[in-house]
Amino acid sequence: MNLHGWIDAYLNHLRVERALAKNTLEAYGHDLAQLALRVGDVEPGSIDRKDVAELLVDHIAAGIGARSSARHLSALRGFFRFLVREHVVPSDPTALVDRPRLGRRLPRFLSFEEVERLLAAPDASSDRGVRDAAMIHLMYASGLRVSELVGLRVNDLDRARGVVMPVGKGSKRRLVPVGEVALSHLSLYLDNVRPRELRSPPTSSLFVSRGGRLSRQGFWKLLKRYAAGAGITTPLSPHKLRHSFATHLLRGGADLRAVQAMLGHADLSTTEIYTHVAHDQVVAAHTRSHPRA
């Protein structure tokens, strides 16, 4: 079996035995297809360290960033480790290839005032506006990823307890508080708008569009439209709203571990990147309080 066959076998292994998400599988498939495009449908044992290094050099020449190249190398390493375990190749040609150096990119976020304008942007007198307001309020109130937001089912929201239960990375479910304001918008949508939006066949999705589940792309487009209407000139993505959630929590004095749990981060170091925003408050507190400031 040549390279294409082993790539299919590896992706099937990831899908069945490791139960990776569809988006992750597509990313792995794309990265491995780039390798096959460069070396051809050869026997995997003929691929050496030079082939892998030259592929990464091609990325640099094409303007692909270090973060994407690092992800690509990670996909290749996983693939060749699989081939080593299956006794297809004697060694991993990626083992001695250096990982691209990644800078620590700080998250960009909205100010409190910008968030207030964004939340007020949907037209509350229309069904579409009620739905969109519920989605934007929930995303800011709970810090959900866009895939988690559009993937919510009606039963994932517990209105009595005021919590939402999204399914995050690795198919892990967590409990996140919603807050009274977001909950009131969700109740208005669920009680008055969603029943009118449903079509046949029925769906369990919480947020619907023309009877079916709203897509990630659909939410992205409506968010950009409301941002423009609210006079927010900086580029806005759903993830920037998640960054704003975490940043504003920490500025308000929230515990870092609590923010980690709400965001669904497996590693605390991922959450710690948000602590940079507290720097200005620390300086201000020092200036106010220290006798030698």
Among 10, 28, 140, 274, the active-site one is 274
Among 71, 153, 213, 239, the active-site one is 239
Among 77, 174, 213, 265, the active-site one is 265
Among 72, 131, 242, 243, the active-site one is 242
Q: Which residues contact 40 (CB under 8 A, 6 or more apart)?
A: 3
Q: Is 243 a catalytic residue?
A: no
Among 153, 169, 213, 224, the active-site one is 169
Among 59, 131, 137, 145, the active-site one is 145
The residue whose two tokens read 């998400």 is: 21
DSSP conformation letters of the chain: --HHHHHHHHHHHHHHTS---HHHHHHHHHHHHHHHHHH-S--GGG--HHHHHHHHHHHHHTT--HHHHHHHHHHHHHHHHHHHHTTSSSS-TTTTSPPPP---PPPP---HHHHHHHHT-S-TTSHHHHHHHHHHHHHHHH---HHHHHT-BGGGEETTTTEE--B-GGG-B--EE--HHHHHHHHHIIIIIHHHH--SSP--BSSEETTEEPPHHHHHHHHHHHHHHTT--S---HHHHHHHHHHHHHHTT--HHHHHHHHT-SSHHHHHGGGGGGHHHHHHHHHHH-TT-
Q: Is 22 a catalytic residue?
A: no
Q: Is 13 a catalytic residue?
A: no
Q: Is 169 a catalytic residue?
A: yes
Q: Is 240 a catalytic residue?
A: no
Q: Is 242 a catalytic residue?
A: yes
Catalytic residues: 145, 169, 239, 242, 265, 274
